[in-house]
Structure 1
Amino acid sequence: MAAKHWVTQESDIIANHHVNQPKPIRVVVLGAGISGVAFAYKARGLENVSFQIYEKNSDVGGTWFESTYPGVSCDVPAHCYTFTWAGNPDWTRVYASGQEIVQFYQQLARDYGVYEHTKFKHQVVDARWDDKAALWKLTVLNLETGESFVDSAEVFVNSGGVLNNWAWPSIQGLDDFRGTLVHTAHWDNSLDLSGKRVAVIGSGASAIQVVPTIQPTVRKLVSFHRSPSWIAAEFAGHFASQGRNTTYSEEERRRFREDPDYFLTYRREIEHGMNARFPSFYRHSDAQRQGVENVTKSMRTRLGNDPELCEKLIPKFPLGCRRVTPGHGYLEALTADNVVVETSHIAKVTESGIKTVDGKLHEVDVIITATGYVTSFVPRFPIVGLGGVDLQQEWAENGARGYLSVTAPSMPNYFLTTGPNSPISNGSLIPAIERQVDFALAFIRKIQTQDLRYVVVTEKATSEFNEWKDEFMKGMTWTGECTSWYKNGTVDGPVIGPWPGSVNHFLEVLKHPRFEDFEYTYNSRNRFRFFGDGRAVCEAKGLPLGAYIS
């Protein structure tokens, strides 16, 4: 029996526990989308960590749960839209439908206990750092009862994402329309478009999926384009012999299930194909020039070499300046007899339709606004950190300016997933989300074991990262002459969307956190108090004391 250790009373220098003993810590996570599921899975490996997820929707899935418009699907191969640790051999299509994606992530959430940690229909509406208590105080609204309450946690992980705040476009007279008005991000599943005259405003990802889906059944479709977009073939399309509609046979799925080595090789090949596109984002690269040539040729062919449509719809700006969107059947649908392509700007919406600046009135029964989300990265609610700094106000006034996509100055014990300058269009996204979660967990572990009240990234490190990022971006297509949400809807603003590098570059940068870029505030006056009673975990728990020999 081990003798009682000599430390009998704690002081402000000596702690009565062993070195690196993790103290209990509580974490609040906003969002039960893909990032929230990743956090719940990975947090299982941390001792003495409890966490609560708040989700405004009624189930797991995030943006994919909310997106139910006609034709919604993943525009990257489904096998690279899964976690590195959770491949899905049972995808039925190369490019999975939105419903299949939601079902997959909900099953993962059941398998890994996400539901037990999540309160659905609960929305965080305010977050404030209490410096005296060293806690985040979060006001949470119960969307079913209308009542609110305050929760508290040492750490706040914001996994709300960027594609979650849809808004009607700012068009004069939109409320005057007497027909049916619907947004792709808030779809009415009871809506029947058969035989209707339909206007689709927008030419982004959702429009590109909606148009070819509804075109065969509507009487007339007017497609409004404010500006052209690069419409490419499917990403990693050589894995899809039949294009977007390519399915996996039962035999193929059985082999994925029964031959894990084959399945792993297949997944890695798709990941390679997705990430190999990155050189085309260098503005003056051979890959960029070749990409422009190839996509231009493809678009001309798919538009039937119609000179008017080609002039209207093929961009003059660099490939990738705005998100390149795969569009199986989209350009072909625009050439159909029941489709009108309108590139004149919208002047206003009337009771019966849409009038353009040249005076033309398009009378329609239904207006679909496929205009996306508010993508400024500005939080939807106040997040008030040290010194009363409100991140919502700061980013609204000065633009989103984070540190390596994962945190921001003056925000103690605060971590982000898919924050500003995440690799959203650089290649395969899901591994990057996993690495962002790993980054947060590394700091949670540090806070637990080193007697820390809080950690906060320095202003200097954040400024120098953004200085480097802005200089690097000058050589990338994302700073080209186009309006883009990558630049918060501007032509020449700073790039706040993609990461300044490849996905593999991002994974390397975040692999080992730069702890030196942070300031630390301790619970005691001596930073080494956590050294404790002079013992290691193995000694305190009676474990073998020579296990370090390999």
Structure 2
Amino acid sequence: MASILTENGACNERLDNPIHGRRHIRIICIGAGASGLLFAYKLQRSFDNFSLTIYEKNDGVAGTWFENRYPGVACDYPAHNYTYTFEPKPDWPSVYASGSQIRGYFEEFRSKYDLGKYCRTNHEVIFAEWKEEQGEWHTQIRDLTTGRTLDETCHILINAAGVLNEAQWPNIPGLQEFRGQLIHSAKWNQDVDLKGKRVGLIGNGSSGQQILETIQPIVGHLTSFIRQGAWVFGPFGPSPPRDYSESEIKDFKHTPGALLELRKQSETRVNHSFGFFISSSPAQAKMRSHLTQAMKRKLQNAALESIIIPTTGVGCRRPTPGIHYLESLTAPNVTVVQGPISEIVPSGCVSRTGALHALDVLICATGFNTSYVPRFPLLGRGGANLQDRWATEPAAYFATAAADFPNHLIFYGPGNPWASGSFLSMIECQADYMLKLVDRYQTENMHSFAPKREAVADLMAHSKRILAKTVWAEGCSSWYKNNGVGAKRTRHAGSLGTQGEEMRLSEAESLMLWPGSGLHFVEAMAEVRADDWEIVYRGNRFEWLGNGFSRTETDPESDVAWYMREKDDGPFLSREKRRRLATRKGAFGGDREGRLGGMAL
């Protein structure tokens, strides 16, 4: 007896099939970076009777790692942990991977699992609109090769475009008047020759630091324009950075558990980090004292120390590894200029003191547009445009969905654990959550699902109160915040009690972070809280029960008495016992129920 429904199967067709009949679903995914490829892999692994198209604006996969090719581009996280949890790469050549090596990892992942069949590169989604009556998304996609516009529909729209994909040029008067070579770190000109040139560099985040320490030895003179200091950690993992030996790589490949243990050690460091970012914690004070002294030892220059060492807490702005950055700042061919640039003229940059810094090349390492506002009109229920909705205060449910935008799911949306979790592990958690919703949609007669407005509002209110206690709520300019510094400096009903605490709560309003650790995010996302979701059905909500037959009794390969057993080996029914089982020490490997990639905490 068939259990797969046709794409346009009417609700009453379910009455002719066993319980949980699977209808055909059409899914469009925006972006073939780490999140888009992961979603395709997990969908392919667990589902059938679907169609998936991933539209990618670039000429290849890997997202930000395809686009960023500036000198020194690398991941500041240990290479063995910048992988999917289930897809290790034992032959990373060094502790930290270059941008091209990471791009290669995602290209290999695409090829290994035949995910390229879903990808359409050089295609950019330019419009999407929810059609309530049909229960579908209508999208427009521009073919960047031919210029033609395609019209496509889908039941579920996945946004895996991320936020590190649109270069943010600095808002400085006269920028386009510069007559030398003007380059953005995210749009690097591979033909530029920096040897012996007078180079200006705007920005001292991770990209700016990597560029500076790479080009400093070859340029004639480098002027680094810095608006605010940055806490320089050094390597986030093993130190110093080095290549792996042949024997180590052999061990990672052939000794059971050797590589897994190394990966767990690095992940453990990240999973203990949240406590450091509580403003009043002894851990924050200790770390701040340690980093201050370490940076002073490298700089050995009081003037530079006053510019580079921040006055805000460690972590307010994303810490940077800066492996050789501080030493490079002290080189004789480097000048550090503090404060914003007043204007840019054809021959160079004018500092706030009025001094002209003549340049041949100006590099803007000024990051990305991290506002979360969609890059195209995205119209939801009632014609609401997410561009307008998120223009002032992006608000998402568990960084994954927005109220009034049905069947639309987002990777690493507003409120994600950027600052306290491991990126690839967190998107796996999100992918699993999304596919639980997809499973219900496919096997029930659902028309649509979207988080309730009140659920999103409550989550935002809770987040602000927790985040107000962290260093992230201090007055630094950070891409963790909406619109930069973001301090609104307003008083609220329900304040924390004192004026200082009110100010921190006001500062926290602009934070686009998860109110806790990465592991906290994982446990919160372990199950779908149905009461937080507005679910609309087609017809009778119980038509998914079908014709009275079980899927199992109509499957000749199934054991219809599968639940009979000699001992109780079923899953625990309390969250706490499931958590203990999943996380107990020494239980890593394939024998543990409830790990990431299917977590049932």
Kindly provide the amino acid, as one letter, of the partner of residue 501 in structure 1.
Answer: G
**1:81-480 paired onto structure 2 within 5 Å:** 81-236=82-237, 239-240=238-239, 243-244=240-241, 246-304=242-300, 306-396=301-391, 398-480=392-474
- CA–CA separation in structure 2 for the residues paired with 1:276 and 1:90: 27
Give per-residue Cα distances to partners, 1:140-198, cap 9 Å, x unaligned.
00000000011111000100001011132111111111110000010001111000000
In 2 relative to 1, CA 10–43 (structure 1 residues): closer, same or farther, beyond 3 Å?
closer
Cα deviation for residue 13 of structure 1 reads: 10
Cα deviation for residue 491 of structure 1 reads: 4.1
More displaced 10-residue stretch of structure 1: 483-492 or 163-172: 483-492
Query: Any conservation in 2 of the 1:478–1:495 contact (CA below 8 Å)?
Result: no
Query: Any conservation in 1 of the 2:472–2:511 contact (CA below 8 Å)?
Result: no
Cα deviation for residue 321 of structure 1 reads: 0.6
- CA–CA separation in structure 2 for the residues paired with 1:80 and 1:57: 25
- CA–CA separation in structure 2 for the residues paired with 1:14 and 1:423: 40
- CA–CA separation in structure 1 for the residues paired with 2:119 and 2:14: 38
- CA–CA separation in structure 1 for the residues paired with 2:446 and 2:348: 60
SS of 1:497's equivalent in the other structure is: coil
Tell me what 2:502 maps to: none
- CA–CA separation in structure 2 for the residues paired with 1:14 and 1:74: 49
Count of residues in correspondence between the two structures: 535
Kindly provide the amino acid, as one letter, of the partner of residue 478 in structure 1.
Answer: W
Residue 34 of structure 2 is aligned to residue 34 of structure 1: yes
In 2 relative to 1, CA 227–544 (structure 1 residues): closer, same or farther, beyond 3 Å?
same
Tell me what 2:550 maps to: 536
Query: Any conservation in 2 of the 1:176–1:350 contact (CA below 8 Å)?
Result: yes
- CA–CA separation in structure 2 for the residues paired with 1:37 and 1:370: 27
Kindly provide the amino acid, as one letter, of the partner of residue 529 in structure 1.
Answer: E
Query: Any conservation in 1 of the 2:29–2:158 contact (CA below 8 Å)?
Result: yes
More displaced 10-residue stretch of structure 1: 164-173 or 195-204: 164-173
Cα deviation for residue 514 of structure 1 reads: 1.1
Give per-residue Cα distances to partners, 1:374-420, cap 9 Å, x unaligned.
11111101111111111111101x31111110000001011010111
Cα deviation for residue 247 of structure 1 reads: 1.0
Query: Any conservation in 1 of the 2:393–2:510 contact (CA below 8 Å)?
Result: no
In 2 relative to 1, CA 527–362 (structure 1 residues): closer, same or farther, beyond 3 Å?
same
Query: Any conservation in 1 of the 2:199–2:361 contact (CA below 8 Å)?
Result: yes
Query: Any conservation in 2 of the 1:40–1:113 contact (CA below 8 Å)?
Result: no
- CA–CA separation in structure 1 for the residues paired with 2:280 and 2:511: 21
Give per-residue Cα distances to partners, 1:53-92, cap 9 Å, x unaligned.
0000011110011000000000011111100100110111
Cα deviation for residue 454 of structure 1 reads: 0.6
Kindly provide the amino acid, as one letter, of the partner of residue 20 in structure 1.
Answer: H
Give per-residue Cα distances to partners, 1:82-117, cap 9 Å, x unaligned.
001001101111110000000011000111121110
Query: Any conservation in 2 of the 1:232–1:327 contact (CA below 8 Å)?
Result: yes
Cα deviation for residue 495 of structure 1 reads: 4.1
Query: Any conservation in 1 of the 2:473–2:511 contact (CA below 8 Å)?
Result: no
Cα deviation for residue 344 of structure 1 reads: 3.5
SS of 1:431's equivalent in the other structure is: helix
Cα deviation for residue 427 of structure 1 reads: 2.8
Gaps of 5+ in 1: 3-8
Tell me what 1:545 maps to: 560
Cα deviation for residue 272 of structure 1 reads: 0.5
Cα deviation for residue 15 of structure 1 reads: 1.6
- CA–CA separation in structure 2 for the residues paired with 1:164 and 1:316: 30
Cα deviation for residue 498 of structure 1 reads: 2.5
**1:473-512 paired onto structure 2 within 5 Å:** 473-488=467-482, 489-492=484-487, 493=507, 494-512=509-527
Gaps of 5+ in 2: 2-8, 488-506, 566-601
SS of 2:85's equivalent in the other structure is: coil
Cα deviation for residue 539 of structure 1 reads: 1.5
Query: Any conservation in 1 of the 2:14–2:21 contact (CA below 8 Å)?
Result: no
Tell me what 1:6 maps to: none
Tell me what 2:532 maps to: 517
Tell me what 2:74 maps to: 73
Tell me what 2:570 maps to: none
- CA–CA separation in structure 2 for the residues paired with 1:379 and 1:11: 34
Query: Any conservation in 2 of the 1:73–1:97 contact (CA below 8 Å)?
Result: yes
Cα deviation for residue 541 of structure 1 reads: 2.1
- CA–CA separation in structure 1 for the residues paired with 2:379 and 2:510: 25
Q: CA RMSD in A?
A: 1.4
In 2 relative to 1, CA 520–478 (structure 1 residues): closer, same or farther, beyond 3 Å?
same
Cα deviation for residue 11 of structure 1 reads: 7.3
- CA–CA separation in structure 2 for the residues paired with 1:358 and 1:480: 27
- CA–CA separation in structure 2 for the residues paired with 1:495 and 1:447: 34
Kindly provide the amino acid, as one letter, of the partner of residue 112 in structure 1.
Answer: Y
Tell me what 2:578 maps to: none
User: How many percent of aligned residue pairs carry the same amino acid?
Assistant: 37
Query: Any conservation in 2 of the 1:10–1:16 contact (CA below 8 Å)?
Result: no
Tell me what 1:25 maps to: 25
Cα deviation for residue 277 of structure 1 reads: 2.1
- CA–CA separation in structure 1 for the residues paired with 2:254 and 2:10: 57
- CA–CA separation in structure 2 for the residues paired with 1:149 and 1:547: 48
Query: Any conservation in 2 of the 1:484–1:491 contact (CA below 8 Å)?
Result: no
Tell me what 1:5 maps to: none
Kindly provide the amino acid, as one letter, of the partner of residue 251 in structure 1.
Answer: S
SS of 1:232's equivalent in the other structure is: coil
